[in-house]
Amino acid sequence: GIEDLKSGRIRTPLDPKTTFEDDPLRILRCVRFASRLGFDVDESISITAKEPEIQASLLLSVMSAS
């Protein structure tokens, strides 16, 4: 929300695991927005993005998009 914009932080509105299971490409969007805006990625996103099942889902999504 607004407070996250003011503090320069990227967070998910729901639990990151739920968010990334629904659409693994959101991980890439988080990284892109953080990079472009100079924001920090919330630790819960970083931890969840490292989970093997989330990484596997992201890989499948990226491969099917190409």
pLDDT value of position 22: 95
Phi-psi region of 49 (alpha: psi -120 to 50; beta: other; left: phi over 0): alpha
pLDDT value of position 1: 84
Residue carrying the six token digits 């299971």? 21
* Mean pLDDT of the region 37-64: 96
**What DSSP state is assigned to residue 24?**
T
Residue pLDDT, tens place only, 17-41: 999 999 999 999 999 999 999 999 9
pLDDT tier at 65 (50, 70, 90 boundaries)?
confident
Number of H helices, E strands in the chain: 5, 2
pLDDT value of position 50: 96
CA pair distance 40, 34, nearest whole angstrom: 6
> pTM of the full predicted structure?
0.86
